[in-house]
Structure 1
Amino acid sequence: MTATAPCASEAHSRPARCAADEPRNSNKTSSETSNTSSNTGNKIGTRHTTQGQDPMTQATPDPLAGDAGSTYAPLTPVPDARRAFGTGDAFALWFSLGIGLLVAQAGALLVPGLSLAHALLAIAIGSAIGVVLLALAGVIGTDTGLAAMSSLRPTLGVRGASVPAVLNAVQLVGWGAFEVIVMRDSADALAKQAFGFSMPLIWTVVFGLLATLLAISGPLSFVRRFLRSWGIWLLLAGAAWLTWNLLAQHDLAAMLRKPGTGEMSFGGAIDLVVAMPLSWLPLIADYTRFGRRAGETFRGTLLGYGIANLWFYALGAVYGLAAGGGDALLTSALAQAGGGLALLLILIDEVDNAFADIHSAAVSTGTFWARGSVPMLSAAFGALCTLIALLVPMAKYQNFLLLIGSVFAPLFGVVLVDHFIVRKRRIEAAALADLRGRYGFSAGWHLSAFIAWVIGIAAYQAINQWLPNLGATLPSLVIGAVCYLVFVSTRRTAYA
Structure 2
Amino acid sequence: MKLSKIMARTDWGIDPVPEKHRILNFFDFFVLWGGLGVGLLVILAGSFLVPGLSFVQAFAAIILGSSIGCVLLALVGYIGAKTHLPTMVLLRSILGSKGSILPSFINIVQLIGWTIFEFVIMGYSADKIVKLITGHSNHYLSTAIFAFIVLVMALWGPMGVIRQWLKKFAIWVIILITSWLTIQVLGKPDVLSLLTKPGDGSMPFWAGVDLVIAMPISWLPLVADYNRFAKSVKESSYGTFAGYFIANVWLYSIGALLLLTTQITQDAGGFVPALLSSAGWLALLILVMEETKVAWADIYSAAVSTQNIFPKINQKALFVIFSIFSYIVAVVINIVQYENFLFLIGSVFISLFGILLADYFVIRRGAFKTKKGINWIVIVIWILGISIYQLSSRQYPGLSASLVSFASVFILYILIFNFSHKGTRFFKPSQFTIFNKFSKD
> What TM-score does the superposition give when structure 2 sets the normalisation length?
0.89
Correspondence for 1:125 among 61, 64, 70:
64
Contact 2:55/2:197, CA 8 A, preserved across alignment: yes
Aligned to 1:101: 40
Aligned to 1:482: 411
CA distance in 2, matches of 1:292, 1:205: 36
Aligned to 1:279: 218
Aligned to 1:348: 289
Contact 2:346/2:402, CA 8 A, preserved across alignment: no
Aligned to 2:273: 332
- The structural deviation recorded for 1:72 is 3.0
Aligned to 2:116: 177
CA distance in 2, matches of 1:477, 1:325: 34
Q: CA separation of 1:461/1:222 partners in 2, compared to 1, >3 Å: closer, same or farther?
A: same
Aligned to 2:233: 294
Pick the structure with more helix per residue: 2
Q: 1:107-256 residue pairs with structure 2 within 5 A?
A: 107-256=46-195
Contact 1:114/1:266, CA 8 A, preserved across alignment: yes
Instruction: Give the secondary structure class of the aligned counterpart of 1:406.
Output: helix
Q: What is the RMSD of the two structures over their aligned residues, measured on CA atoms?
A: 2.2
CA distance in 2, matches of 1:245, 1:355: 29
Contact 1:238/1:342, CA 8 A, preserved across alignment: yes
Deviation per residue, 1:122-168 (Å, 9 max, x gap): 11111111111111111111011011101111111121111111111
Residue type at the aligned position of 2:428: A
> What TM-score does the superposition give when structure 1 sets the normalisation length?
0.79
Q: CA separation of 1:271/1:341 partners in 2, compared to 1, >3 Å: closer, same or farther?
A: same
Aligned to 2:207: 268
- The structural deviation recorded for 1:266 is 0.7
Aligned to 1:27: none
Residue type at the aligned position of 1:495: P
Instruction: Give the secondary structure class of the aligned counterpart of 1:468.
Output: coil
Q: CA separation of 1:177/1:307 partners in 2, compared to 1, >3 Å: closer, same or farther?
A: same
Instruction: Give the secondary structure class of the aligned counterpart of 1:78.
Output: coil
Aligned to 1:62: none
Instruction: Give the secondary structure class of the aligned counterpart of 1:407.
Output: helix
Contact 1:171/1:405, CA 8 A, preserved across alignment: no
Instruction: Give the secondary structure class of the aligned counterpart of 1:249.
Output: coil
Aligned to 1:463: 392
CA distance in 2, matches of 1:366, 1:168: 12
Structure 1: tracts of 5 or more residues without a match: 1-68, 433-438
- The structural deviation recorded for 1:195 is 2.7
CA distance in 2, matches of 1:419, 1:359: 26
- The structural deviation recorded for 1:358 is 0.9
Q: How many residues in Structure 1 have an aligned counterpart in Structure 2? A: 416
Residue type at the aligned position of 2:386: I
Q: CA separation of 1:288/1:341 partners in 2, compared to 1, >3 Å: closer, same or farther?
A: same
- The structural deviation recorded for 1:451 is 2.0
Instruction: Give the secondary structure class of the aligned counterpart of 1:384.
Output: helix
Aligned to 1:494: 428
Contact 1:319/1:330, CA 8 A, preserved across alignment: no
Give the percent of matched residue pairs that are identical in Structure 1 and Structure 2: 39
Structure 2: tracts of 5 or more residues without a match: 1-7, 431-441
CA distance in 2, matches of 1:164, 1:113: 33
Q: CA separation of 1:125/1:140 partners in 2, compared to 1, >3 Å: closer, same or farther?
A: same
